[in-house]
Copies of this chain bind each other. A is one copy, B any other.
Amino acid sequence: MITNDRMKSILNAVVYSYITTAEPISSEVIVKDYGLNVSSATIRHDMLSLEKMGYLKKPHTSAGRIPTDKGYRFYVDNLMSKNIYDLNKSIKKEINENYKIKKEFNEIMRITSKLISKLTNNLGVVLAPNMASDTLRDIRFILLNNNRILITIITDSGLFYQKIMNITHDISEDNLDTIEKIIKKEFYGKSLEVVNDEMLEKIYQYYFKYRTMESIWKLIEDCLDFHDDEENIFLGNRCYIVKQPEFKEIERLNYLFDFIEEEKNLIQIIKKSFLSKQYDIVIGSEFGKESMQDCSVITRQYTIKGKPMGAISVLGPTRINYPKAISILDFIANRLSKILSE
């Protein structure tokens, strides 16, 4: 833990400067650009201490200093809040512009991930709400023709889902109405996962009454195949992060792409973050994964009708502009929560 105020200022200066320039910071630069009123020798002295404490490191002997992951962590936890990034009007305007026209749900997820990519100059990621944990508000069956039924489900968060079910035996509209009523009576307000789990069991209480419909219940259960772990993720444009100097060696980029395009990986990372807190930051080595050790992920939850339902994230190098990214995520998350709650 750093107690000395000047050393905090120096660490702050190094992080701040490195975030913008991607160049190691020398003692001279700190004297020149950040008015600390001491000589470069003094700065060097403090920097050496900071290095020994593990907050800074040097790429090589005669280079300036760059922050370690521990340095970033200290910055993020203790220094950053004082100078949180003030979003300028044009960014806010661009965000609002994007949500002006009402879009289909998947489209909203897509444009959100793209927007984050573009505004942060890194990779935007959106974890979509998982319907499985959402509660059933309405279910409708539409008989399309003799052997097809369209099932429509609406959840309390306003998400909807539909699927066409192929049936083998004819079924009458009346029978469908009965099924609808049974489901309404038994499952309204329960989560889709529970509906799926308990459907057959519950239905067999009606079994003697509706024996002829046994096969249809099985088909319905097949259609309502919701699981807690089936998350849906949207990655924004990659063209920005590809330009970050830390990925100028193609090898690094290969590692990164291999990792992020195996979607489970990112889902796991974001899921771990989003339920507990409003926002979370994971820095480089904190992932405990080789391929992510030069990257940070900032995650911000969004809500639907006040309930946390998913998260938006930025993935960038550990050198990412944390305050700016957080401000952007914040603004977008609020906007998104509002739109999805409508």
Contact = CB atoms under 8 A, between A and B. Distances in A.
Contact of A257 (B106, B160, B238, B254): B238
B238 A254 contact: no
B144 A142 contact: no
Contact of A158 (B140, B164, B242, B258): B164
Contact of A242 (B106, B152, B248, B254): B254
A106 B106 contact: yes
A238 B238 CA distance: 9
A257 B236 CA distance: 12
A33 interface: no
A87 to B, nearest CB: 24
A239 interface: yes
Interface size bracket, A side: 20 to 34
A5 interface: no
Interface string A36-61: 00000000000000000000000000
B150 A142 contact: no
A contact face: mostly helix, strand, loop, or mixed: mixed
Contact of A160 (B106, B164, B261): B164
A250 interface: yes
A138 interface: yes
A261 B237 contact: yes
Given A106-B106, A239-B261, A242-B257, A150 B150 contact: no
Interface in A208-246: 237-239, 242-243
Interface string A149-161: 0101010001010
A268 interface: no
A257 B114 CA distance: 13
Interface in A249-276: 250, 253-254, 257-258, 261
A279 interface: no
A163 interface: yes
Contacts of A150: 140, 152, 154, 160
B144 A154 contact: yes
A152 B158 contact: no
B261 A253 contact: no
Interface string A112-139: 0000000000000000000000000010
Nearest to A101: B225
A104 B163 contact: yes
A166 to B, nearest CB: 8
A162 interface: yes
A85 interface: no
18 contacts: A104-B163, A138-B142, A138-B144, A140-B150, A150-B154, A158-B164, A160-B162, A162-B162, A237-B261, A238-B261, A239-B254, A239-B258, A242-B254, A242-B257, A243-B254, A247-B250, A250-B250, A250-B253
Q: List 6 tightest A-B contacts by C-beta distance, closest first.
A: A239-B257, A237-B261, A239-B261, A239-B258, A248-B250, A242-B257
